[in-house]
Structure 1
Amino acid sequence: MRSAVLLLLLVSSGASAVVIRDDVPDLQYRMAASEFPALADMPGEGHGVLIAPLWVLTAAHVVDRHHAVGVVVVAGAPRAVRNVFIHPGFRKPPQKMIDSALASGDWEPFFEFMASSDDIALVQLAEPVLDVAPARIYNGDALGKVVRIMGRGATGTGVTGHHLYAPQRTDLRHGYNKISVSEDRWIGYRFDKPPNALPLEASTGSGDSGGPILVATGDEWHVAGLMAWKRVVVTGTELHPGKYGETVFGVRLGNYADWIEKLIADGGISGTSR
Structure 2
Amino acid sequence: MIRFFLLMLLAVSSTASAVVIRHDMDDSEYRVPASEFPALVDMPGEGHGVLIAPQWAITAAHTIPGNSDLQHVMINGVSRDVERVVMHAGYKTLPQALIDQAMASGEATLIVVFLASSDDIALIKLTQTVTDVAPVELYKDSNEPGQTAKIVGKGATDTGATGHSPNGPNRTELRRAFNTITSAHDRWLCYVFDGPPTALPLEGTLGNGDSGGPVLLQSDDQWLLAGLGSWKVAQGDVRTARPGRYGQTSCNVRLSHYIEWIESVISEQPQAGANNSFKPTPLRGAA
AA at the equivalent of 1:189? Y
Cα shift at 1:10:
8.1
AA at the equivalent of 2:27? D
The question of whether the paired residues in 1 share the 8 Å contact of 2:91 and 2:120 is answered with yes
The question of whether the paired residues in 2 share the 8 Å contact of 1:16 and 1:163 is answered with no
Cα shift at 1:85:
0.6
The question of whether the paired residues in 2 share the 8 Å contact of 1:233 and 1:243 is answered with no
User: Structure 2 CA distance, aligned partners of 1:189 and 1:9?
Assistant: 24
Match of 1:242 in 2: 244
User: Structure 2 CA distance, aligned partners of 1:108 and 1:142?
Assistant: 26
- The alignment-based identity, stated in percent, is 48
Match of 1:146 in 2: 148
Match of 1:65 in 2: 66
Cα shift at 1:193:
0.8
User: Structure 2 CA distance, aligned partners of 1:220 and 1:149?
Assistant: 14
Match of 1:126 in 2: 127
Cα shift at 1:155:
0.6
Taking a change above 3 Å as real, the CA distance of residues 80 and 143 of structure 1, as seen in their structure-2 partners, is: same
Match of 2:113 in 1: 112
Cα shift at 1:266:
1.4
Taking a change above 3 Å as real, the CA distance of residues 178 and 4 of structure 1, as seen in their structure-2 partners, is: closer
The secondary structure found in structure 1 opposite 2:259 is: helix
Match of 2:203 in 1: 201
User: Structure 1 CA distance, aligned partners of 2:270 and 2:39?
Assistant: 21
User: Structure 2 CA distance, aligned partners of 1:157 and 1:124?
Assistant: 36
Taking a change above 3 Å as real, the CA distance of residues 16 and 252 of structure 1, as seen in their structure-2 partners, is: closer
Unaligned runs of 5+ in 1: none
Match of 1:88 in 2: 89
Taking a change above 3 Å as real, the CA distance of residues 111 and 170 of structure 1, as seen in their structure-2 partners, is: same
User: Structure 1 CA distance, aligned partners of 2:270 and 2:48?
Assistant: 21
RMSD: 2.2
AA at the equivalent of 1:24? M
Cα shift at 1:105:
2.1
User: Structure 2 CA distance, aligned partners of 1:171 and 1:11?
Assistant: 22
The question of whether the paired residues in 1 share the 8 Å contact of 2:39 and 2:133 is answered with yes
Match of 1:213 in 2: 215
The alignment of Structure 1 onto Structure 2 pairs a total of residues equal to 271
User: Structure 1 CA distance, aligned partners of 2:145 and 2:115?
Assistant: 21
The secondary structure found in structure 1 opposite 2:18 is: coil
Taking a change above 3 Å as real, the CA distance of residues 4 and 133 of structure 1, as seen in their structure-2 partners, is: closer
Taking a change above 3 Å as real, the CA distance of residues 55 and 268 of structure 1, as seen in their structure-2 partners, is: farther
Cα shift at 1:104:
1.7
Taking a change above 3 Å as real, the CA distance of residues 11 and 138 of structure 1, as seen in their structure-2 partners, is: farther
1:1-274 equivalent positions in 2, closer than 5 A = 6-7=8-9, 12-13=14-15, 16-65=17-66, 67-140=68-141, 141-235=143-237, 237-266=239-268, 271-274=275-278
AA at the equivalent of 1:135? V
The question of whether the paired residues in 1 share the 8 Å contact of 2:103 and 2:238 is answered with no
User: Structure 2 CA distance, aligned partners of 1:136 and 1:251?
Assistant: 16
User: Structure 2 CA distance, aligned partners of 1:4 and 1:222?
Assistant: 22
Cα shift at 1:4:
11
User: TM-score, length-normalised on structure 2?
Assistant: 0.89
User: TM-score, length-normalised on structure 1?
Assistant: 0.93
User: Structure 1 CA distance, aligned partners of 2:156 and 2:254?
Assistant: 25
Provide, for residues 5-51 of structure 1, a one-character-per-residue CA deviation record: whole Å limited to 9, x for no partner: 653698943x7421000000000000111111111111111000000
The question of whether the paired residues in 2 share the 8 Å contact of 1:12 and 1:208 is answered with no
Unaligned runs of 5+ in 2: 279-287
